[in-house]
A and B are shown apart, each in its own frame.
Chain A
Amino acid sequence: MPQNNKLLRIEELVLHFNTTHGPVQAVDGVNFELASNRAVVILGESGCGKSSLAKAILRLLPRNAGKYSGRVYLDGRDVMLLTDEEFRQDIRWASISMVPQAAMNALNPVIRVGEQVAEPAIVHLGVDKKEALSLVRKMFQHVGVPDDFISRYPFELSGGMRQRVAIAMALVTSPILIILDEPTSALDVLTQANIFNVLKRLKKELGISFILITHDIATSSELADDVAIMYAGQIVEVSDAYRFFDKPLHPYSQKLMASVPRLHGTKEPEFITGRPPSLIDLPKGCRFADRCPARFEKCVEDPPVVEKDERKVKCWLYS
């Protein structure tokens, strides 16, 4: 049963893609929840299904989408039961918006940025252009874009400013949840830190919740209240950020943390041997077993999700 204090609750979400080699099991039974005004970080290597999870939540399905099932409760309402048209009107951009990967480079080069940001407001809120532009002005203030940039073209803006514009575009319809897919991976250090300052401020001032999808563990800690680790289409650990960054539980999470280079201290970063399994031909049992230093006999069977002090971990070591 969905709990009322949770903003988003995802149960057994599955999204497969059909290919000539067989179904790609990109999202394969994902469960997690997110409370209001919190940020969850979804961490994992490339090819583990992070971006597909974002698409599955927003029902942005490519043509080759195969099996798509599960339950997504938003404020207690199962949005998976809605028709595509209802979903488009009530959920996508109205309640949940998204800053896709490399959004800053996807702005239309021949339309002024102000008009591009206004478009979702005109479509989803039904306001006229003048009103939409005043909304844009408000959003630009929130993300720190100067007012007069409203009539500029994307090429006149730096990368950091374009990324802010992309965030403003996700904000303009006043959603309750924003999904950010690698929002800063192409940006410089200082620009990146600036964007995270902006996101922190939005969370504090507007009470928005975030799902942050990234492979950059160090910068993800700038926004994280909770951390979910994704591996081969599944979530293998969910924890609050404090305990996670202090002491991750799953062997994969531990390896990931050990691979982060640090500014200070002498501990050498380690790398994880091997590669994530192909999502077409997944191993039976624990999907990390091949690369796991703590593997034992039980790992040939699929591990259960164990709950331990409000942290969840999918590993035989803890059962």
Chain B
Amino acid sequence: MVAPVKTKDVEKDKRKVLLSITDLHVWFELRRFGFSNAGHVKAVDGVTFDVHQGETIAVVGESGCGKSSLMKTILALYKPTTGKVVFEDLDLAELDGKGLHTYHSLVGYVQQDPYGALPPFMNVRKILEEPLIVNGVKSKEERDQRIRKSMEEVKLTPVEDFLEKFPHMLSGGQQQRVVIARAMIMGPKFLVADEPVSMLDASVRVEILKLLRGLQETHNLSVIYITHDLSTVSYFSERIFVMYAGNLVEKANVRQVLDHPLHPYTMALLTGTSEPDARNAETFKELPPGEPPSLVNPPTGCRFHPRCSKAIQGLCEVKEPPDFEPEPGHLVACWLYQ
């Protein structure tokens, strides 16, 4: 396989690199009858990128493209099969129990389903207090202060009204605010948000995205925003990575991707995303046939070639495309741009 080209970023070089991922592979072994090896699920297969301090990145892809595995590896919940994930100076593969503990206080995690992510038998105070206790904040007074402060930050005010409430007494938007407050309470440098608004109503969605952006700006946080919804991306991120079958196929600034997409898969995603317009009802959309491939036996060459209308015969199905850079800062893994 072709070695992926390292992401080049013209403007961002000035900023400090916070997280650096090099040629990351996350494979899961399949076993038959519990012992013999029956192949691998190649969930993440050769991913390389850097995240700078204070940068927001959206990872866009359909379910089963490996974006959750990528996220969980960044959170040090999965170990990389090969490749490196380096956070500041910490190599995540080398962290021991104590190192992991420290690392987890530096990264926050906002889950997709707020109701599922909150323990039903704990009230808001207990939910927010637990990370503080685990991380050794001994003074009860300090804990109380930090809980109040982070609740004010996510606008769960007046604080007294919410402190003693249990998750089921809160609306979806309020539950998601509790999840965000919990992710923020240790003062992380880095936030991973996995589809934070997909379970919420349209009007609440915007509210939560604005809250996350506000937090990102005031704390100069780096954020990885994982989503399948391209329409919310432009309000939140600077760069978009498009993921397909374990690979990042396009990496560029938000406006570059939304206004001049280069990869045929990105184009298809944009075609599939609707804008409210009555004329939509009169036309059929042209979409790539088929479904995303199995990650056990992905297609050879470019993984999108069986569904691609622009595939070059004799090339796309044979050789995996490296990253090309047809315009500055716009990387695309597609042979059309060699």
Residues of A within 8 A of B (CB): 39, 45-46, 158-160, 188-194, 196-197, 200-201, 215-225, 240-242, 244-246, 255-257, 259-264, 268-272, 275
Query: How far apart are the CA atoms of A201 and B201 in the complex, in Å?
Result: 28
Q: Which residues of A contact B277 (CB under 8 A)?
A: 221, 245
A224 in contact with B273 given A190-B268, A268-B235, A269-B235 (CB within 8 Å)? no
Interface residues of B, dominant DSSP = helix
Query: How far apart are the CA atoms of A241 and B278 in the complex, in Å?
Result: 5
Contact in complex: A193, B272 (CB < 8 Å): yes
Q: Which B173-212 residues have C-beta < 8 A from chain A?
A: 201-207, 210
25 A–B contacts, CB within 8 A, in A order = A188-B62, A190-B268, A190-B269, A191-B62, A193-B274, A193-B287, A200-B284, A201-B284, A215-B201, A218-B273, A219-B274, A221-B274, A221-B277, A224-B278, A224-B281, A241-B278, A255-B203, A261-B232, A262-B275, A263-B231, A263-B258, A264-B275, A269-B206, A270-B206, A271-B207
Mark contacts of B269-298 with chain A using CB atoms, 8 A cut-off: 1 yes-contact digit, 0 otherwise: 111111111101100110110010000000
Contact in complex: A271, B206 (CB < 8 Å): yes
Determine if B229 is an interface residue (Cβ-Cβ < 8 Å). yes
Q: Which B194-242 residues have C-beta < 8 A from chain A?
A: 201-207, 210, 228-232, 234-235
Query: How far apart are the CA atoms of A220 and B278 in the complex, in Å?
Result: 9
Q: Looking at the assembled complex, report how far the CB atom of A76 sits from the nearest CB atom of chain B, in whole angstroms.
A: 27
Contact in complex: B278, A217 (CB < 8 Å): no
Contact in complex: B276, A275 (CB < 8 Å): no
Contact in complex: B203, A221 (CB < 8 Å): no
Contact in complex: A193, B235 (CB < 8 Å): no
Q: Which residues of B contact A262 (CB under 8 A)?
A: 231, 275
Shortest 5 CB-CB distances between A and B: which pairs?
Answer: A193-B272, A241-B278, A271-B207, A188-B62, A189-B272
Contact in complex: A241, B206 (CB < 8 Å): no
Determine if B171 is an interface residue (Cβ-Cβ < 8 Å). yes
Q: Looking at the assembled complex, report how far the CB atom of B216 sits from the nearest CB atom of chain A, in whole angstroms.
A: 16
Contact in complex: B231, A261 (CB < 8 Å): yes
Determine if B259 is an interface residue (Cβ-Cβ < 8 Å). yes
Query: How far apart are the CA atoms of A188 and B278 in the complex, in Å?
Result: 22
A221 in contact with B278 given A260-B202, A264-B259, A272-B203 (CB within 8 Å)? yes
Contact in complex: B281, A223 (CB < 8 Å): yes
Q: Which residues of A contact B63 (CB under 8 A)?
A: 159, 188
- Of the candidates B172, B268, B285, which one forms a contact with A196 in the assembled complex, judged by CB atoms under 8 Å apart? B285
Query: How far apart are the CA atoms of A192 and B229 in the complex, in Å?
Result: 11
Contact in complex: B274, A218 (CB < 8 Å): yes
Contact in complex: A263, B230 (CB < 8 Å): yes
Query: How far apart are the CA atoms of A60 and B271 in the complex, in Å?
Result: 37
Contact in complex: B202, A216 (CB < 8 Å): yes
Q: Which residues of A contact B230 (CB under 8 A)?
A: 189, 263
Contact in complex: B284, A189 (CB < 8 Å): no
Q: Which residues of B contact A158 (CB under 8 A)?
A: 291
**Among A218, A244, A257, which residue has the most Cβ atoms of chain B within 10 A?**
A218
Contact in complex: B203, A200 (CB < 8 Å): no
Query: How far apart are the CA atoms of A276 and B202 in the complex, in Å?
Result: 13
A197 in contact with B285 given A45-B201, A189-B228, A222-B274 (CB within 8 Å)? yes
Contact in complex: A215, B171 (CB < 8 Å): no
Contact in complex: B202, A242 (CB < 8 Å): no
Q: Which residues of B contact A275 (CB under 8 A)?
A: 171
Query: How far apart are the CA atoms of A218 and B281 in the complex, in Å?
Result: 11
Contact in complex: A200, B281 (CB < 8 Å): yes
Q: Which residues of B contact A220 (CB under 8 A)?
A: 276
Q: Which residues of A contact B171 (CB under 8 A)?
A: 275
Q: Which residues of A contact B232 (CB under 8 A)?
A: 261
